[in-house]
Amino acid sequence: MNERIRELLEQAGVKYVTMPKDTVYEKFAELIVRECINHEELLGAIARGWCSEKNSHKTMDPDLAVAIFDEVERQIKQQFGVE
């Protein structure tokens, strides 16, 4: 299990016991991470930021939005050890 996931479990008051790799905790954490990197929702958030009043005069480049998503997804997966 990823060290960061263990730290978060401890902060939540869950005592982690070493078990086989496919533990309920690990699967639960992976599902949460995958939910956080939902492709459509994250791209929507990027678009909303781009279309905010502060940025309303700018033109959105869809390829750049996808590249931003890809980098955010990579960072989150790396942080939590999700493939």
Residue 65 has pLDDT above 90, yes or no: no
Do residues 80 and 4 lie in contact, with contact meaning Cβ atoms separated by under 8 Å?
Answer: yes
Q: Model's pTM, two decimal places?
A: 0.64
58: left (phi over 0), alpha (psi -120 to 50) or beta: beta
Question: What is the residue extent of each domain of the chain?
Answer: 3-80
Regarding predicted confidence, which is higher, 81 or 1? 81
pLDDT bracket for residue 16 (50, 70, 90): low
Q: What are the angstrom distances between the C-alpha of 2 and each of 46, 51, 55, 82, 83?
A: 28, 36, 38, 9, 12
Angle formed at CA 79 by CA 43 and CA 69, multiple of 5 degrees: 15
Residue 32 has pLDDT above 90, yes or no: no
Residue 22 has pLDDT above 90, yes or no: no
